[in-house]
Amino acid sequence: MATSLKNLSSYNSNQMPDAQDYRIGIVVSEWNTEITDALYLGAYKTLIDNGVNEENIIKQDVPGTFELTLGAQLMAENFNLDAILVLGCVIQGETRHFDFICQGVTYGITKLNIKYDMPIIFGVLTTDNMQQAQDRAGGKHGNKGDEAAVTALKMVELKRKLRIGLK
Average pLDDT over every residue of 80-105? 91
Residue at 130 is within a domain = yes
Residue 101 sits in a domain whose CATH number is 3.40.50.960
Instruction: Tell me whether residue 146 is in a domain.
Output: no
The verdict on residue 65 lying in a domain is yes
pLDDT score of 167: 58
97: annotated active-site residue: yes
Q: Among the options 97, 115, 160, 161, which is catalytic?
A: 97
For residue 46, is pLDDT > 60?
yes
Mean pLDDT of the chain: 94
Structural domain including 39 reads 22-138
Whether the CB-CB separation of 20 and 52 falls below 8 Å is answered with yes
Question: Is 3 part of a structural domain of the chain?
Answer: no
13 assigned to some structural domain? no
Q: What is the mean pLDDT of residues 126-136?
A: 96
Number of folded domains that form the chain: 1
Is residue 143 in some structural domain?
Answer: no
Question: Would you state the pLDDT for residue 159?
Answer: 95
Q: Is residue 54 assigned to a domain?
A: yes
Question: What is the pTM assigned to this prediction?
Answer: 0.93
The tens digit of pLDDT for each residue in 141-160 reads: 999 999 999 999 999 999 99
